[in-house]
A and B are shown apart, each in its own frame.
Chain A
Amino acid sequence: MANQKVDVIVVGSGAGGGVMAKELATAGLSVVVFERGHAYTTANYNHDELESQYSVPPAYGPSVYDNPRTFRYTDREEATLSYPGINSKYGKTAAAVGGATLAYGAAAWRFKREDFQMKSTYGSIPGSSVEDWPIGYDDLEPYYEKAEYELGVSGLADADPFAEPRKKPFPLPPLPINRQGEIIRDAGRRLGWHPFPPPFAIITQPYHGRNACVQCSWCLAYACEAGAKSGTQITMLPIALKTGKCEVRANSFVTRITTDNQGRPNGVQYFDAKKQGHEQSADLIVVACSATETPRLLLNSANKFHPKGLGNSSDQVGKNLNDHTGADAFGLFDFEIPHDKGPGPSIAFNDWNHPKTRDVVGGGYIYNYYCTLPIEFASNRPPGAARWGKEHKDFQRKYFHRYLHLGSNCQAMPQERNRVDLDPKVRDAWGLPVARVTHELMELDHTIANFVMDKEEQLLREAGALKVWRGGNGRGGVYDHQNGTCRMGDDAKSSVVNRYCQSHDVDNLFITDGSVLVTDAGFNPSLTIQAVSFWAADYIKKQWSGSAWREGKKG
């Protein structure tokens, strides 16, 4: 099968690519999925803070020396070299079969209606390229449902009064509430807020042949040896492979999308694990390798037909790079709060995510965070507390079990100046220009995060915290919820793909990862990426005619 033409090439096996592979292979199309990372097995999984996705090296790739990038806050600066795991500005996304979903936190949120209509809801925002999406919640609702049922999302319908309506309940009951959850639930109720168990792509009962979550403390940044966390490597890809129509080509790095003598995509060039070059041809190309690597691949695929990069006649590829701000607050208590019951988050609030008062743009949900681990705790102290010495050690032993961490993912505003382009100097191990990331938060992003952190501190105080402090956001940099670099839109001049994730320029090129998100939301993005991918796959299946993707079949 190595170099025989196939119907579809999917570049990237993560949230978006995994869904595409499964949907198209089960529809009878022949598919090759390219993944630059390894296919890890449970033998590679561990419970070790020094071997997690946030370690040096990142446990699940990308390999450090092969994959540099460069980073700068603004285009007035020279970008500096950054490496996976070594430099925090690099980002945290895994490069593995399953992509980021191999070691993700598995929060599985539906966006709210406003998240698709940010410009209509809040108006133009100076300095921001905020726009409405071409699709809305009602378009995606059936695909959210499909994603929830295929992944096995646990949650409680109607428990969040601010959630958009859903046609069916969650397929699985929510994770059990832990002590941290009980404390903030009660405090939240006293404040008149609305606590509920947050949705997770973590199965709480046996589901589709997989085992339920064992509630260990090692979830976010760890691969799940119980198989309860619903990464694509255990949900979508096995189904795709079972059809006999799909091959997952791991350790295979796609460097360029090739075109025929009319400029139409017809395949990819890639390197195998031994850095030997190969080609693969196909009728249809789906790119889903993250909001940083997808624009890089399109820009690296420039040729005489597509001088600014494939699919980039709009000059929008790589622009509007966006990521959440974090909003974390921490509290110390005079009573014990065990946090050994994983994954950790068991109560959330959406009171400050598009609050009806509109006293903030967007906002974010609030939840009790993943179980705290010892090194993580050692690096977190209130301002003024000792960072080392006897006092630090005493704090560690006194408060490790008297500590509560609240987290959020706050909406940040897209800006055209934040972007991925090709670094003019630095090349990767395959000789290709690396992604140069330019990213700086705007004042409003800090305002939104501060608004949410104010609420978190209020909740911690109400819960009886003796001492409360907050985290912060630096000047910029993208982490693991990167999005926006190949925006979806109806206008081919101002967006990269149409509402079905199809390139405006070439009809047999689709993009189904965080790149197509027009704006982010006060929610983790993976379920939305997957719903959008199911939606785009439906379109492809309807348009697929006989054995080939024919020209001129644009939506």
Chain B
Amino acid sequence: MNRRRFLKSMAVSSTVAISAWPVRAENGAALAQASIAPGCKVLTVEQAFLLDALAEQIVPADDFPGAKEAGAVMYIDRVLAGNYGRFYKDRYAQGLALFDTASDKRFGKRFVSLNSTEQTQLVKAMDSGEAGGIEGKSFFSLLLRHVMEGYYGDPQHGANRGAASWKMIKFVG
């Protein structure tokens, strides 16, 4: 009974939404089959593709792997599927949709179909608040934090494969 009272009180005063993970229809196209990406528990195939592209913008590959190859998406999926995923799930659903909406508006294409220069432009616009307002800016900060955590964090959390980023910065632990 205490527990129920607690949850009720949370629902009243919480700023954190606890709704289910929504599946979004994009650009009036047929509802994407919400098939979960391979190896993921929460992210759909489309979301995983979009996140891969965003992660690569945040940490691009050069002589060391980028965040895509390092597995940033796997890390983010683990966060979303984990015990505290409810704090982030809706922000991801809405934030990722914002990227595609903004991309469509500016370039008439989905984010993953943009070339790298266009993607960089759009990420900059999201970062500054120009493309997605405060909501977009705030989501991008969260995404940035999670990509950096994955890329520079301990490999046991699903990203930073082969501890490549630690080799890059000569971090010996």
Contact = CB atoms under 8 A, between A and B. Distances in A.
A202 B100 CA distance: 52
A397 interface: yes
Interface string A189-229: 00000000000000000000000000001100000000000
A425 B154 contact: no
B62 A390 contact: yes
B62 A389 contact: no
Given A80-B15, A86-B84, A389-B57, A396 B6 contact: no
Nearest to B157: A50
A217 B62 CA distance: 28
B5 A49 contact: no
Interface centre among A49, A275, A375, A390 (most CB of B within 10 A): A375
B166 A374 contact: yes
Contacts of A56: 84, 87
A388 B144 contact: yes
A326 to B, nearest CB: 19
A127 B4 CA distance: 42
A429 B172 contact: no
A400 B83 contact: no
A340 interface: yes
Interface in A81-98: 81, 83, 85-86
Contacts of A374: 152-153, 165-166, 169, 171
Contact of A389 (B5, B58, B84): B58
Given A50-B149, A427-B9, A431-B6, A57 B169 contact: no
Contacts of A393: 59-60, 62, 64
Interface residues of A toward B: which range?
A: 35 or more
Contacts of B64: 393, 397
A387 interface: yes
Contacts of B144: 387-388
B128 to A, nearest CB: 11
Contacts of B166: 374
A428 interface: yes
A187 to B, nearest CB: 25
B52 interface: no
A48 interface: yes
B8 to A, nearest CB: 9
B2 A429 contact: yes
B171 to A, nearest CB: 5
B12 A425 contact: yes
Contacts of B16: 81, 83
A426 interface: yes
B64 to A, nearest CB: 8
B57 A388 contact: yes
Contact of A425 (B13, B157, B171, B173): B13
Interface string B69-109: 00000000000000110010000000000000000000000
A242 interface: no
A375 B170 contact: no
Main secondary structure of the interface of B (DSSP, over half): helix
Interface residues of B, number: 43
B2 A430 contact: yes
Contacts of B58: 388-389, 392
B6 A429 contact: yes
A400 B170 contact: yes
B9 A426 contact: yes
A428 B7 CA distance: 9
B153 A49 contact: yes
Interface string A380-400: 000000011110110011001
B173 A379 contact: no
Interface string A420-445: 00000111111100000000000000
Contacts of A218: 173
B33 interface: no
A389 B60 contact: yes
Nearest to B55: A388
Contacts of B5: 427, 431
A407 interface: no
B89 to A, nearest CB: 13
A451 B10 CA distance: 41
Nearest to B86: A65
Interface centre among A68, A218, A275, A374 (most CB of B within 10 A): A374
A47 interface: yes
B73 to A, nearest CB: 16
Given A50-B153, A57-B84, A388-B59, A428 B15 contact: no
A389 to B, nearest CB: 7
Interface string B14-49: 111000000000000000000000000000000000
B50 interface: no
The 10 nearest A-B residue pairs measured at CB: A431-B2, A374-B152, A400-B169, A378-B148, A388-B58, A48-B154, A375-B152, A50-B153, A81-B14, A427-B9
10 contacts: A50-B149, A81-B10, A81-B14, A374-B166, A375-B148, A375-B153, A379-B145, A388-B59, A393-B59, A396-B169
Given A64-B84, A378-B151, 15 more contacts: A48-B156, A81-B10, A81-B13, A85-B84, A373-B171, A388-B123, A393-B59, A401-B169, A425-B9, A427-B9, A429-B2, A429-B3, A429-B6, A431-B2, A431-B5
Interface of A: 47-51, 56-57, 64, 68, 70, 80-81, 83, 85-86, 217-218, 275, 340, 373-375, 377-379, 387-390, 392-393, 396-397, 400-401, 425-431
